[in-house]
Structure formats: C-alpha cells, structure tokens
Structure 1
Amino acid sequence: MPVVAETPTSPADGAPIRPANAPPAPLAERLRRLRTARGWTLAQAAKACAVARSTLSKIENAQMSPTYELLLKLADGFGLGIGELLAADDAGPAHGGGRRSLARPGSGDGSPEFEFGGCAHRPLCADLAGKRMQPYLSRVLDPGAAPAGWSRHDGEEFLYVLAGRVQVLTEFYAPAELGPGEGCYLDSRMGHRVERLGDEEPRLLWIATRPQAGDAP
C-alpha cells in the first residue's frame, strides 16, 4: 500500500495510520522491541530511520500515529517491510534462496489491519522479510472515511477487485470504475486515490512495490 503529497490529508503525508480492530498501540510496542533487540538508543534508531528523535519517541510512547511516508522510513531503518514492521512477532530470514510464504483464508500471520487513504489494509505473507513488493488484502471503507487529497509515494502498485465496485481516481487520467475481475496498475508517484461505489464494501488484492537501493530513479 510507498514523496510528499500536496494536501495534508493524503495518506502519503498527513493522514494518520492506525491499526483497525487491533490491540492499543501495537506499533509502539513493536518499535521498542525491535530497537532493544538491536541494542540501539533512541537517537541511533532515529538516525537509522532518518526521522527526528522526538518523533520516534512519540511513536514509541503511542503519542502519535505515523503517516504512510513515515511508516516507510521506519520500515527501511529497521530493514523490514511494512508487513514485517506491523507483525506481532519477528519476521523470518531476510535473505536466502528458495524462499516462500503462504497466505491462506482466515489463517492470519500476526499483522494487524491498518487504515490509510480510506481503506483498511491487512498485510499478507508478513512472515517473509526483505520483500520487494508487499501484498495486502484491502477493504474500501465508507466514502466518508476517504481523504480529499491525493496519495503520492515512490514505487508502483496494482489493485485487483475481488468484490464490490470502486472508482480509481488518478492525477493524469479520467476516473475509472472497476468491478470484480478488473484491476489497475499505476505509478504511485502520480496522485491517486480509490473511492467506494455502491453499498457493498469492496474487497481488493492490493500489491505495492518499492524501489530498492541501486534502482534507477
């Protein structure tokens, strides 16, 4: 689901991300555990994540929720994907050949559902670290939950409608209505957002990629 959007309400630069239907402040506890395991001070962790020490301290103490852009910085700093960062338990090995991870209906993998951009996203296969793409099972929430601004972030993304109907709005193209069996691939640097159509809550398979070190800009 990753650099600054022009409107403070977009998920890339201002809309708070919070776990949905999850225990209070799971990210705060997870960050503190990850930092302690690495033997980092708060200042060292903040430097690794390229964020202010005060910002990291507020997140660890559940005094603020990170934006999507900030969530990406935290994941990068700890060498994890967003799914692994949000997972309740430590993820598996980050490297090695022949890796795989299974996503089964109702099995869960320790990752809480979280909201941004008017959608609730549950990371899939979060036990596999070091992924170059992150799959999500997503729900498009009530239209009133969607932000008014664009989302913009590095990488590319693909969404595929499993149920319900949505409208994909992009900065340079006419709006596109999608139903079950239809999808959209887009450059995430372009302003974009997804809105719900009709009464049925849409469900999507959503895959986001992120550039890695050494990739061309």
Structure 2
Amino acid sequence: MINEHKERYVSAEKINMQEAKIVKVEKNNEEQPIAPLDLGQRLKDIRIQLGLTLEEASKRTGLARSTLSKIENEQISPTFQALQKLATGLDIDIPQIFEPPKTKGAAGRRDITLAEQGKPHPTATYEHELLATQLSNKKMVPFKSRIRARDFDAYAEWVRHDGEEFLLVLEGEVCFYSEFYEPVNLMVGDSVYYDASMGHVLISISKEDAQILWVTAK
C-alpha cells in the first residue's frame, strides 16, 4: 500500500516537472513585443535625411508648416490625404513612412557615392547633392551644397533643426550667420561645427557660388 502511494506520488511529481518544462519552453519562445511606430518622429527623420527645413517641406508637400510641425510633434495625426501629399512631395512611397525603425544597423554596411552621382535636391537658397542615399537609418546625413543665396534676406527665417552639424568649405567663400554669434567669413578648407537647433544660414560671398560639404548628425 505504501509502495503504491509512493509510485503515485513520484508519477504526479514527474507530470508536474514536465508541465513546468513545457511552460518554461513556451515562455522562452514568446515573441518579443514590437515597439509602436512613432509616426511623427519617423516623418521628421525622413525630412532631416532629405536635408529639408519645415518651410521647404511645406512648399514641396503643400501642407502648412504649422501642420507639419504638429504632425512631427504628435499633436495631430495625419489624414490619408496628408500622407499622400507627404509621399509625393518627399518623393517616397507611403510604405516607407510606416517602415519600423531598426534598433541595430547591419554590421559592415557601406555606401559609395561617385563624383557628381549624388541625389540632386535643389531649393531656393541651396543646391544640395545628397550622399550615401542607399543607406537607411543613418546616424549622419552627408551632403554637398552649392550656396545660391547671396544675401541674408534671402531667408524668410533662421534655419534650425535637431542634432549637430559640421560644414567644410570646398569651393569659394561663404559667410556663416548664427543666432548667437557674429557672422564669420569662411574660405576653402575652413570648417565649423555647431548645434543645429541654433538658428543658422549661409550665403556665398565669392564671385562664384560657393560649395560646401555638410554632415548632419542626429
């Protein structure tokens, strides 16, 4: 009788251990929760990657600057019509807007841009040539710019955006204006590193339009 009771106890214990193992395996195989897409930040990242100010993005998309700002700051949700305007104006596909951000970049990435083979992006004041455009989710956004502006008044307002920025003069001479400092003239080989949230603008002061290398870091 005692032996029969022991056998039942051992059998029940084995069943409990097996159930515990099954629960543990199922728990370990649970899919990790997917982080929700921050649509406003995603749109802001796309705009910055394209080297656009809110004002420039507004002109390209037909959406008011204030509307774009509210969308980026998650104060309002964009309608489907607004998403269509954003996709058309920014020259992207709508699915790209909803592409979830990658937490880790692939190891060993590289992107070569041959001379004069960057993606052109002209504006009223700059003629940008976007570099390394095949890579997504970059921590830096490099581009060359030919400075068309010849006067401070060519800008309706200060240019400012998130992150830090570095510029190096490649050709000609420029005058670099910044919100909290006196204007400074920069020649070929001169460079400046600054907080991009501080208002800043650039004009050419040489006979020919100056060209610079710009690198924006998030």
Task: Report the TM-score range of the alignment, normalised by the length of the smaller protein.
Answer: 0.5 to 0.7
Give, in whole Å, the separation in 2 of the partners of 1:75 and 1:196.
35
The residue number in structure 1 matching 2:86 is 59
Cα contact 2:56–2:123 (8 A) shared by 1 = no
The residue number in structure 2 matching 1:115 is 123
Give, in whole Å, the separation in 1 of the partners of 2:175 and 2:135.
31
5 Å-filtered alignment, 1:1-217, equals 12-16=53-57, 52-53=78-79, 54-60=81-87, 62=88, 65=89, 78=99, 95-108=105-118, 111-115=119-123, 118-143=125-150, 146-210=154-218
- Report the structure number with the largest CA radius of gyration: 2
Give, in whole Å, the separation in 1 of the partners of 2:155 and 2:172.
20
Please identify runs of 4+ aligned residues in structure 1 that moved more than 3 A. 15-19, 47-51, 74-80
Cα contact 1:49–1:78 (8 A) shared by 2 = no
Q: Which is richer in helix?
A: 2
SS of the counterpart of 2:123? strand
Give, in whole Å, the separation in 1 of the partners of 2:164 and 2:106.
25
Cα contact 2:149–2:202 (8 A) shared by 1 = no
Structure 2: runs of 5+ lacking an equivalent: 1-43, 45-51, 62-70
SS of the counterpart of 1:55? helix
Distance 1:58 1:192, change over 3 A: same
Cα contact 2:164–2:195 (8 A) shared by 1 = yes
The residue number in structure 1 matching 2:32 is none
SS of the counterpart of 1:112? strand
Give, in whole Å, the separation in 2 of the partners of 1:125 and 1:97.
16
- The AA in structure 1 aligned to 2:53 is A
Distance 1:163 1:101, change over 3 A: same
How high is the TM-score relative to the length of structure 1? 0.58
SS of the counterpart of 2:54? coil
How high is the TM-score relative to the length of structure 2? 0.57
Distance 1:95 1:115, change over 3 A: same
Sequence identity (%): 29
- The AA in structure 2 aligned to 1:138 is S
Displacement after TM superposition at 1:183 (Å): 0.7
SS of the counterpart of 1:131? coil
**RMSD of aligned residue pairs (Cα, Å):** 3.4
Displacement after TM superposition at 1:127 (Å): 1.0
Aligned length: 150
Displacement after TM superposition at 1:49 (Å): 9.8
